[in-house]
Each structure stands twice: as C-alpha cells, then as structure tokens.
Amino acid sequence: MTKFKIRSAILITAAFFAIVSCSGGKEGSNDKKEEEVLPEDIVELRGDQITLANIETGSVEMQSLSGKLKVSGIVAVAPQNMATVCMPMGGFIKSTTLMPGNVVRKGQTLAILENQEFVDIQQNYLEAKNKFELAEADYLRHSELYKNDVYSQQNLQQVTSEYKNLKAQVKALEQKLSLIGINAAHLHEDDISSSVAVVSPISGFVKSVNINIGKFVAPADVMFEIVNSDKLFLELILFEKDANKVSAGQKIRFFINNETEHHEAVIYQTGKSISTDKTYKVYATVPGICKNVLPGMYVNAIIESSVSQVTALPSDAVVSFDDKDYIFVFDKNKEESGKPFTEYRMIEIRKGVTDGGFIEVILPDNFDIHTAKVVIKGAYNLLSAKKNAGEMSC
C-alpha cells in the first residue's frame, strides 16, 4: 500500500470515529433528554456514518470450500516394525560384525553369545529326555500288565507319576532351549555347544549397536535395535480447536529438513481424547517408501480438507472479539428526532475452513439464511463502533 493510500485510510477511519463519537454536542447539552439504552448486541449508525464506514450487506451463501491446516509432528514406526534385541540368559559376546545403519533380514545372525549355562541346559535336557523315554516305555508296559490284572493299581500310579513328571521336565527344558535359540528337535549328544546365535526378529536396518566383543550382557541389556522403515506413519499434533477439522481419509502433504519437495500421507486414525496441554493427535500412514524419511524426524505438514456445500461468507464479514467470532446482521431502520438510524445486531458464530476469500460459518440454530442481511463489508468498523459505544452520543 502506498503512503498516500495509508494516509487516506487513516483519515477515513479518524473521520468515521469523529462522526460516531459526536452527536450534535450542543443540542445534547441543552436538551436533557433521557438517552436510549441499546442492548449489548446492537450497534446503531446514522446514514452518513454507514456511508463513511462503507457498510455493505449480503446474504449467506452455500459453497464448497477446501481448507488447509498447518500442523507439525514426527515420523514414527509401528511397534511391530521395531525390535529391541536382548538375550534372556545373557552371556559374553563372542563375535559380531554389525554397525549402525546396516541392513539385516529376519533370521539373520546378529551376534554369537557364549555362556556355560547354555551347556548345562542342553545337558539337562538330553538327560531328562533319555529318562523320559525309559519312563514312557515303562508306563506303557505297566499299563498293559494292569489291564491283564498282573500289576497292581498302586504300582501303576507310581509309574504314571514318574512318567508325567519327566514329561513336564522335558517340555520345560525345550522351552528354555527355544528362548536361547536352540531347536530341541535337532539337539543331540554330539551337538552340545557353549555358543548360541542371536538372530534378528524382523527385517530392517540396525538403529543402534550396544555391544562389543568380550562384553558381558545381562538378560535386561539391549544389544541391538532394529527398525523396519518400509511402513512409516506420522504422529501429528493439533490444537483442540482444530479437532473437528480432520477425519480419516484426508490427504496430507508433509516436508522434512526444510526440503521443498513434499511427501504424501493419508490420515487413518484421529485421537480419541484431548491431552492435558489441550492438544489433539492425528495419525497418518505414509504409502510406499519415501527417500530420506526416517523414524524420529520432525515434519511440517499441511492437512487438506474438502467440505461440500457449507454456509459461507466473505472473510471480511467475520470479526473476532474476546476470543469469540461474530457477524453483524441488519436488524431494523428507525427514526429518532427526525433523523434516520439503522441498527445492526451482533451474532456469535463459529468459524470453519477458509478458502478463496470465503470462510465457513457455523450459525445459530434459529438463524434464517434466506432472509438475513449480513454485513459483508465494513464489519470491523461496526466492531470498532461497538467497542466505542460509550463515547457515542448520536
């Protein structure tokens, strides 16, 4: 705007307030009339004030608007695509060749671990297995003898108890072997080893390596972190007031590291509660593989919304006051002391999406969009007149 235009706008505004605040000064002082008390939601202007304030009225329109919501968040990965690798029994690291960033596949050996307890478990399993095989044969033989009344019930119960105890012991040791990565079905007396392989539970890349050769790792120690970045999602944070502007299926464009090239995502789920800091979370899937997009990255995103046939007004028709949004509507024409006046009513509304100079307005239930004459130009001048109502003496 040029300096001339700025000066003109200032002069017009100043002139408007001068006219609004004056009321025929001397007449008011001589004639001690009882002044009219206007309702809180009414603004009253003379014809010359309306002209100076550039007031224009129009009607509420039904339009299809698309809105854009700017938000921020992080790139995340689903729990099933992230793995923390530990060893249930611990041990000493015998060997490893991995570095952070290495790509691994599911079942690939990450490290070799040594522990004397591995030997003890294998020995105990094989001994228990041999005893169980003997007890099973004895149990079957005594069962047949009992059927033929050759063996007593008490003796059969004793054999049965021994058989079941050994069976439970074998099953328990099989589970312990499975925990350290040894397949009990393939274990024989000649295969006992003090070393076991630590394998990757998923395919992906190595996020962190927390071991070295010779280090002892306890059962709770994290040895590796593996991340599969093929299926990423965005965790976006919105303010509470924007919660009703998003829904599943909406498209998102997001940017990382100040890049100009955008990536795409689609909202698959919205939050079900508001956090203590009055924010609202939205989750979006990232289809396909995006170059340079990694878990933990900070993103700026634009949520694109499409709304069909909503009640809309020009953006200039909506004003804000005390953290609320309002429009002005023509109420009535009247005459006082031979002078014509026009009253405008201030109505609280809620704003929706904004697009192309128009804004969605959520109106009160009793609002008649067919007959209402809404101030579409000069609404801020009416708001200024409302704020300065105490100085008006028209």
- Stronger pLDDT, 213 or 140, i.e. the higher one: 213
User: For position 143, which CATH number holds?
Assistant: 2.40.50.100
Domain housing 135: 82-227
Are 165 and 213 part of one and the same domain?
Answer: yes
**Final residue of a structural domain among 184, 203, 227:** 227
pLDDT in tens, 280-319: 899 999 887 777 788 888 999 988 766 667 899 999 999 9
> Does an H or E element contain 145, and which?
helix 116-147
Which of 182, 200, 227 is at the close of a domain?
227
Q: What is the pLDDT of residues 2-12, one digit of tens each?
A: 444 444 444 45
With a threshold of 0.85, does the pTM exceed it?
Answer: no
Residues 244 and 381 occupy one common structural domain = yes
Same domain, 244 and 389: yes
Q: How far apart are CA 71 and CA 301, in angstroms?
A: 5
Number of domains in the chain: 2
Find the mean pLDDT for residues 26-49.
68
pLDDT digits (tens, 9 = 90+) for 160-211: 899 899 999 999 999 999 999 999 989 988 989 999 999 999 999 999 999 9
What letter does residue 267 receive in the DSSP assignment?
E
**Nearest of 39, 56, 49, 46 to residue 373 by alpha carbon:** 56
- Give the contacts of 392 (CB within 8 A, at least 6 positions apart): 20, 21, 23, 44, 385
C-alpha angle 191-193-194 in degrees, rounded to nearest 5:
170
Same domain, 188 and 335: no
Does 370 lie in the same domain as 256?
Answer: yes
